[in-house]
Amino acid sequence: MANGWSVIIGLIIIVAFSGLSWFASPKGENQTVWRSTLILSAWSCYLMWAITFLAQWHPLISPRRSDLRPELEAAGAPGAIRF
C-alpha cells in the first residue's frame, strides 16, 4: 500500500488539476485570483501530504520503547522477553 508510486500518482493528479484550473477558471476581472487560489491551495495540500507521507515512510529516528526495565533492554540478557 505504501510505495513510491503514491507520490508520483499524486503529483500527476495535482499537475492535471492545475492545468484544468488554469483553463477552466471563470473569466472576468478576478480570473487571476481564481487561478492563484486554486493552484496554490492544491500544491500546498500536495506538499503537506507528501512531506507527511515521506516522513512516515522513511523515519529519521526509529521508535524505541521506554517502558522496559534496563536489564531487559540488553539483547543478550538471559530470560529477556522479546516482542
Residue 73 belongs to a domain: no
Q: Which residues of 12-26 are buried (b: 16+ CB within 10 A; e: fewer)?
A: eebeeebeebeeebe
Count how many domains the chain has: 1
Q: 41 in a domain, yes or no?
A: yes
CA distance 43 to 69: 46
Q: Is the pTM of this model over 0.85?
A: no
Give a yes or no: residue 55 inside a domain: yes
Residue 69 lies in a domain: no
Query: CB 54: neighbour CB atoms within 10 A?
Result: 13
Q: pLDDT digit string (tens) for 27-36?
A: 999 999 999 9
**In a domain? residue 45:** yes
Domain-located, residue 13: no
Domain span at residue 40 reads 30-61
Does 49 reside within a domain? yes
Dump pLDDT digits (tens) for 9-63. Answer: 999 999 999 999 999 988 999 999 999 999 999 999 999 999 998 888 877 777 7
